Structure 1
Amino acid sequence: MPYVTLGPDMRRQGAVGQGAPTFREIMSASSVLKQPGLIAYLISRNVSAFASQVQAVTVGWQIYALTHSAAALGFVGLAQFAPMMALVFPAGHVVDQHDRRRIVIFCQFIEMCAAFAIMTATWTGALAPWGIYALVAVFGACRAFEMPAQQTFLPSLVSASDFPRASAISSSLFQVVSIVGPSLGGVLYGLGPAVCYLVCGSAFAIAMLSTTRLQLRFPARARQPLSLVSVFGGINFLRRKPAMLGAISMDLFAVLLGGATALLPLYADNILHAGPFGLGLLRAAPALGAVMMAAAMARHPLKRNAGRIMFLSVAIFGVATIAFGLSRSVPLSVVALMVLGAADVISMVVRDALVQLGTPDEMRGRVSAVNMLFIGSSNQLGEFESGMLASAVGAVPAVVIGGVGTLVVTVLWMRWFPQLAALDRLDTITAD
């Protein structure tokens, strides 16, 4: 695929007895959206994510047009991942010691400036490959600070009882962006890469202005000097929270083993013989399933047995991966990928509730940084694992093995993390 995703993070069933609710119904019926600042938060997060998606498509196509090198595409990913990896733990410390809103505003301002700068270089014909690498490196560094800080906003905007519903709405919007962003990015690229960067810079500006409108209330936090103990405090905290550690690590290994989406071009071409249009359907299917499930969960959030439901959703993720791997029918493959995306949303909502509600405010930045590193790494390493295994044993065995591995992880984690299996209500999670 001739583009590289810059975002990290970048992931069920309908309402019982009423059919799957429409997105408009969710947005109009959810009183949680009346919470002060929540709309501004959703705009900031998702407009910034939209800009990232468009920028990802643009960077990939442009670097390939300049170099005609597959290795150059890999260097784009490395240029973005390396600063994130190097800065994620110090960033968590900084987020917990300083004004989180200002950190996000500053990062979005730098992202805006970087997008406009590369737009100018593209427009004048002065852009070289090193300029693109510099852009994604700056972007990766900004995301290392912006994402952990931004992830601490939602618990301060809504109550614990409203958090699962607000998280589902946020996830629903993010999945819409995941569908629209790459598609629109490809269309905009037809008008020229400079137009794409203009749209990205403008979107980052809108996100920054929305962040300035947030009125966040954080408890007073004692300052801690920079030290190894403080920088790696998120890891030490997770070691004392088995349910939270189990949720994060299970998601890491499930996505790592079940990275079937990395092989979609191969499946569309050689196995399903679906062509470019079929590839588009396959790529959109997980996000479409995720949107439907997130909308249903926004209207009917989890009430009881959250831990068991999370384990069930990961198991369904594995079964759907196996079904996709064995399918020779485009409709069946699309349905399997939709189920896969829907199941992923359930586990994500439970994980987010555990991480954000179960972490004291003074630790949220560092724990969110660890969570971001785990989830971001699992997406990238999962694609690498699937590609390498497919080259060794073939695409179908690789996908099936990944799905079976996900089921094995589910069984093992149920035995190793009984505290997670015993989790009942999400709205009773506290940082005690």
Structure 2
Amino acid sequence: MSQATAQTATDEIDHVLGDEYEHNPVPAAARHGLFSMILVWAGFPMIITGAMTGSLLVLGMGFSRALVAMVVGNLIMLAYVAALGHLGMRSGSNFALIANKVFGQKGYMLASGLLSTLLLGWYAVQTGITGALISGTYGLNYVAMTVVAGLLYIAITFVGVKGLHYIGLVSVPLFVILGVFVAGHAAATAGWSAIMSYAGNNGVATMSMGVGLTVVIALFIDAGTVTADFNRWAKNGTHSLIATFSAFPVANLVAMLVGGIMTAALAVPNANPFGADNMFGYMNSLHVGWLSVLAFLFLYINLGSVCSHCLYNAATGWSRILGTHMRVMAVVLGAIGIAVAAGNIWAFFIQWLSLLGILVPPIGVIMLLDRYVIRPQAEATSDWRPTAFGAWAIGSLAAFVVEFYAPQLSTALSSGIVAGAAYWGLSYAIAPKPQAA
């Protein structure tokens, strides 16, 4: 197929499914309503992986301390994501277009490429979890189930932001119904007093509050940083804020509480949330035929929501960098993600969150300071902006120091705070000095 023919085919698909505005701001006439924005955002974190994370927090911290980490971490995410989302809403630009002004006309490729690649990794992680849970529960072939999942998730992403709307329309209410059932059914076996007093795995809390906050923040810090990819579709600032609030704290906290309540209620010694000790495994453990069928469908639909969101972000970022179309990159990157998922990359979940907590927060904090405070009206005037990259390096280095020498603290908060202070200092240190009269 010639390049001209391929371009014509892509243009025809965009005409049918809608323009994704990879290289230009979304015009006002193409913006989506509030209900659609809420579905796009709520369908992202209200997932079984969030419930697994809630289980990990409760196992490591005990229920009451984990609850504090969940609430505080989600409020931090609300402030961070809402502020970045407003940048996308007011300009109509995706993350890569905004990063172009902050990191430089070539430098943005490093920031956008890193985040897009990390999100592709998340797509692979969640796709691998799908295949592993289906294979372990029903005895089906892991690779086959992973490939089926990956192809389904590519198809949803290919539709574009409308696909994220439709998968959220199914995934969100299904999670709410099944999540309330699982949490309530498990709680009935122990009682709320036992849940609140649950002290952690085998009665021992091993996770500090700092680490707990990092886990909560890092779970969606990458997607939260590229939030402009979603919020650029909002009609106004109020819609952007409400949609963000539906995700953080509402959807993310609901998901974490489902897993946390179930884990505290059952108090299984050495529970494995990534094995059978999760809401999917709980539904199947009841040995009710129709519930097991529903659990099967739920897993594919629910993880299909987060996977399609991650792949959408990754494809949007790389399409801007390579000068191609989002849908083309969704197919290419989706195929790569399937291959990676088949290699059990999801098993490195905790290490992945630690990496995100070190590298990603500085990017968002630098963008917030640059666009709101230091250079709000500035355009891209250079290929690389050393102050932005210098602050990014300083923030990440600080997080590495915390990781090894003060592990009880939060690497995510440390990297963001230090990077912000560094960017502020570097920006004013090299600012042109006024000439004496």
> Do they fold alike, i.e. is TM over 0.5?
no
Q: Give the greater-gyration-radius structure (CA).
A: 2
- The two structures have a TM-score, normalised by structure 2, of 0.30
- The two structures have a TM-score, normalised by structure 1, of 0.30
